[in-house]
């Protein structure tokens, strides 16, 4: 019997696959990458773009095990994840086995297998279609890795000289910081204005409200657009900007209203596609308040247990097999009325939807609530299950109605909605309460029970959240499925941004760094250029572009720019917040709040001449629930905000939520 070795990245994945294979198979995990660029130097020849790869010293045992097991195997299968990163890991394993060890393995013994779901059927089918490593995907991964390394290692020394020591810059991360900084500028510039709505309350059977929408030829609510860095944002502005004006109008209204028009129309609503990576992260943020990293960690666990298909994808495609199973399941469990009349097929927006993956879906539709999952894993699995299965459910049928009521030259409007058939909403588990309007006839007279004047205020564009930042990056063509979560984690860890009530706000350090980079490197931080580089990497993955040639072209333009900025650019000062207290050490400077590696701290404004520092406790506006002392805001090393007691370590009360 032939001895076979199958190599994956994750121990959990190895454990799941082991259950599907015979005794002649040995399954082992590399535990991610074991060969990469060096940590303490560029590691790239900037003329030839040859890469200096080094073995991870922490992976000696893994490397030893790879050599030991491969020498005993008759066949070796590389089964890392089905994307560029996974293809690169397979390539590094092949290099190690054929070139990087004393006892070299013949290349003919090694094959690449790829599957998008970890099920017995998928693994067995992949083994029958074993092939060679796709060097186009490997080169796309190398191109991204080298591009990011070259940009980071070129910009970081400049930031050390011009902004602050210890800073680093990333190609895509810096663009994400720019988006957040530009949004903050728009918020600061926004001039809030009060407005007043007028509503009339009626009763015919049940109570209902109608809102003023028109006076003469003027619409009551007019739409205005604010131009933002990443597009535009719409907000509403009322006709009434003072309460006295609204009250004057209200006093002149007739007591009686007349039904001017009754409109009703039926419409259908279809389900959205199954999740892509970005849409899953957005749903995790909006529904559960999770970070992109948290959502992807949970999805990784579900994938490795064989419960969902591969979770890094920008494709909405579903296999014929999955569609058939979904349709059969809906018909059996909900009735044939709930099955879509025709097979519903969704098209990818991007021609380069990554490596023809499927969308994220359950591997077995009959498993609605898997056993052995924790609460968060269950929530995410059910979200994925509902969204994927619903794609083959019938459309919902709705009836919307409106009543226009006249009063002098004014028009008030009331709206209603009724669900005629819930369709795919049934799969989602959503229940919609009908908003019914009373039976009325045109020309009918109604007396208003009361007139309401509601005060509001125009709102600035909102700060980015995990969901909206990922959506913006995706819309602009920046980043790819595997990069969204790391982008956000990195810029938080570098303290360029911070989370404030679930939204991203730039720090003083982030604002200063962004100001310097956008002023001196406008091209590399522009959205079109960053999107263009992503498109070029996609071309490499398709074999249409040579990655080293792409890098040579980039470096020929970027290198002179770096040298020029390093020579002539002005230094940028990071803004500090004054405490209003003199420095107790030098007596000349004042104490200011600075942002350091582990959060905010107090130092002298004359630093580095005076090196006085002290801890800083940011008051949170409440008393500690445990001991009654002042509550303070703290941060983890990853930059996540939490609340604690100012008397720590005597009192160890802490909470993610403000009490």
| Residues with a known catalytic role | 310
**Beta partners for residue 167, in sequence order:** none
What radius of gyration do the chain's Cα atoms show? 30
Stated as kind and residue range, the H or E segment containing 642 is strand 641-645
3-class secondary-structure state, position 624: coil
Contacts 24+ apart (CB under 8 A), 587-595: 595/495, 595/507, 595/508, 595/509
Q: At 427, is the secondary structure helix, strand, or coil?
A: helix
Strands of 65-152 (E only): list them.
75-78, 110-112
Strands 4-8 and 75-78: parallel
Q: Integer distance in angstroms from the first to the last C-alpha of the chain? A: 65
Distance of CA 592 to the CA centre of its chain: 34
State residue 533 phi and psi, 5-degree precision. Answer: -65, -40
- Cα–Cα distance list, 92 to 123, 135, 352, 463 (Å): 22, 12, 25, 41
Measure the CA–CA gap between 8 and 69, rounded to whole angstroms.
13
Q: Could you write out the three-class secondary structure of 228-243?
A: ECCEEEEEEEECECCH
Dihedral angle computed from the Cα positions of residues 566, 571, 572 and 573, in that order, rounded to the nearest 10 degrees: 140
Please give the angle made by the CA atoms of 208, 214 and 218, to the nearest 5 degrees. Answer: 165
Pairing relation of β-strands 641-645 and 630-635?
antiparallel
* Residue 359 near residue 315, CB atoms below 8 Å: yes
d(CA 175, CA 280): 22
Within 10 angstroms of residue 133's Cβ, the number of other Cβ atoms is 19
Hey, how many other C-beta atoms are within 10 angstroms of the C-beta on 549? 11
Burial of 444 (0-12, 13-18, 19+ CB in 10 A): middle
Inter-helix orientation angle 484-493/292-304, to 10°: 140
Please tell me the distance from the alpha carbon of residue 650 to that of residue 142, in angstroms, as a whole number.
51
Please give the helix or strand (H or E) that residue 498 lies within, else none: strand 497-500
**Is the N-terminal amide bond of 649 cis, ω within 30° of 0?**
yes
Two structure tokens written together for 215:
């006076």
- Give 198's contacts (C-beta < 8 A, 6+ positions apart): 211, 212, 220, 240, 246, 249, 250, 451, 452, 453, 454
Helix H or strand E segment including 279: helix 277-288
> Nearest Cα to 142, choosing from 656, 548, 612, 565?
548
Name the nearest CA neighbour of 118 among 243, 255, 12: 12
Q: Say which residues have a Cβ less than 8 Å from residue 418's Cβ, sequence separation at least 6.
A: 398, 399, 400, 401, 434, 435, 436
Q: Which residues contact 269 (CB under 8 A, 6 or more apart)?
A: 395, 396, 398, 423
Residue corresponding to tokens 């810096």: 174
Residue appearing with tokens 């979904």? 326
């Amino acid at each position: 019997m032939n001895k076979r070795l199958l190599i994956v990245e994750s121990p959990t994945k190895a454990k799941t696959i082991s259950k599907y294979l015979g005794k002649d198979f040995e399954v082992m995990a590399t535990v991610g990458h074991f060969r990469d660029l060096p940590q303490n130097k560029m590691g790239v020849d900037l003329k030839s773009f040859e890469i200096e790869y080094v073995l991870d010293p922490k992976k000696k045992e893994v490397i030893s095990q790879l050599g030991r097991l491969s020498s005993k195997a008759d066949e070796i299968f590389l089964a890392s994840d089905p994307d560029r990163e996974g293809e690169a890991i397979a390539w590094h394993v092949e290099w190690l086995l054929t070139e990087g060890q004393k006892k070299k393995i013949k290349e003919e013994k090694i094959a690449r297998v790829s599957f998008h779901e970890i099920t017995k059927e998928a693994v067995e089918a992949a083994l029958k279609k074993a092939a060679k490593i796709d060097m186009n995907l490997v080169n796309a991964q190398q191109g991204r890795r080298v591009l990011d390394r070259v940009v980071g290692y070129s910009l970081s020394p400049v930031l050390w000289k011009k902004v602050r020591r210890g800073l680093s810059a990333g190609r895509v991360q810096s663009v994400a910081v720019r988006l957040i900084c530009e949004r903050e500028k728009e918020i600061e510039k926004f001039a809030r204005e009060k407005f007043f709505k007028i509503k009339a309350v009626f009763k015919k059977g049940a109570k209902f409200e109608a809102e003023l929408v028109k006076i003469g030829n003027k619409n009551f609510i007019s739409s205005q657009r604010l131009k933002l860095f990443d597009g535009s944002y719409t907000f509403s502005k009322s006709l009434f900007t003072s309460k006295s004006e609204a009250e004057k109008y209200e006093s002149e209204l007739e007591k009686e209203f007349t039904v001017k028009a009754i409109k009703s129309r039926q419409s259908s609503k279809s389900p959205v596609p199954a999740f892509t990576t970005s849409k899953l992260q957005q749903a995790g943020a909006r529904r559960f308040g999770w970070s992109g990293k948290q959502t992807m960690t949970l999805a990784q666990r579900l994938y490795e247990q064989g419960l969902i298909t591969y979770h890094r994808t920008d494709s909405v495609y579903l296999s014929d097999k999955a569609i058939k199973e979904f349709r059969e399941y809906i018909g059996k469990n909900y009735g044939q009325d709930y099955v879509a009349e025709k097979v519903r097929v969704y098209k990818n927006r991007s021609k380069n939807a990554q490596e023809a993956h499927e969308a994220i879906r359950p591997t077995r539709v009959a498993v609605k609530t898997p056993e052995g999952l924790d609460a968060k894993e269950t929530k995410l699995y059910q979200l994925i299950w509902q969204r994927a299965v619903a794609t083959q459910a019938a459309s919902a049928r709705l009836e919307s109605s409106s009543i226009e009521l006249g009063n002098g030259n004014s028009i008030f409007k009331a709206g209603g909605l009724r669900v005629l058939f819930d369709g795919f909403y049934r799969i989602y588990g959503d229940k919609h309460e009908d908003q019914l309007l009373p039976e009325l006839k045109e020309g009918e007279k109604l007396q208003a029970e009361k007139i309401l004047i509601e005060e509001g205020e125009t709102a600035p564009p909102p700060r980015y959240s995990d969901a909206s930042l990922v959506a913006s990056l995706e819309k602009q063509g920046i980043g790819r499925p595997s990069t969204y979560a790391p982008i956000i984690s990195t810029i938080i860890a570098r303290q360029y941004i911070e989370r404030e009530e679930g939204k991203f706000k730039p720090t003083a350090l982030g604002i200063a760094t962004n100001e310097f980079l956008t002023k001196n490197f406008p091209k590399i931080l522009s959205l079109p250029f960053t999107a263009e580089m992503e498109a070029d990497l996609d071309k490499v993955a398709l074999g249409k572009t040579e990655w080293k040639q792409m890098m040579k072209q980039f470096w020929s333009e970027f290198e002179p720019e770096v040298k020029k900025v390093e020579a002539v650019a002005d230094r940028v000062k990071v803004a500090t917040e004054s405490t209003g207290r003199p420095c107790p050490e030098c007596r000349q400077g004042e104490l200011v709040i600075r942002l350091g590696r582990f959060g905010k701290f107090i130092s002298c404004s004359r630093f580095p001449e005076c090196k006085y520092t002290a801890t800083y406790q940011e008051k949170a506006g409440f008393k500690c629930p445990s001991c009654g002392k002042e509550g303070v805001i703290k941060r983890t090393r990853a930059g996540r905000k939490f609340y604690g007691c100012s008397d720590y370590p005597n009192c160890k009360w802490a909470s993610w939520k403000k009490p």
